[in-house]
Structure 1
């Protein structure tokens, strides 16, 4: 059987608060099963998916996309240059 976490047990494992875990659930960033108005359970699969989405791989810095400027960044730089 897969492991199931409560917000409190997952918070202890991750070194954060149970409220932070509940906030992640509320924002839809961490999938959880809801039992009643306040009882949440998070599956091991949901923890793994969250971790994969939110952990940078070791190759990200080397193989990631090049930094690029947006139109807003360019416009801001042009206005700043005129002001100086």
Structure 2
């Protein structure tokens, strides 16, 4: 999935940090929150979910933490546009 994100988001709008120190490796992505970038990421998440690559999505913004695994594409887009959003994809 990381390669897909790198392919659709311009390189100057995306930073990727890969943690290889923990037992389970994971990547953290920081993306410039433009309408186009958020739309592309929301679309990709919906496709990955339909293909079974995503088991759950957890949204965090400030004190708000909730499971958004069943969120629509528009809901994902809206969440991604909010400043300081963290979306954990598993």
Q: Which TM bucket (shorter chain)?
A: under 0.3
TM-score scaled by length of structure 2: 0.24
Q: Which structure has the greater CA radius of gyration?
A: 1
TM-score (norm 1): 0.25
Structure with greater proportional strand content: 2
> As a proportion of its length, which structure holds more helix?
1
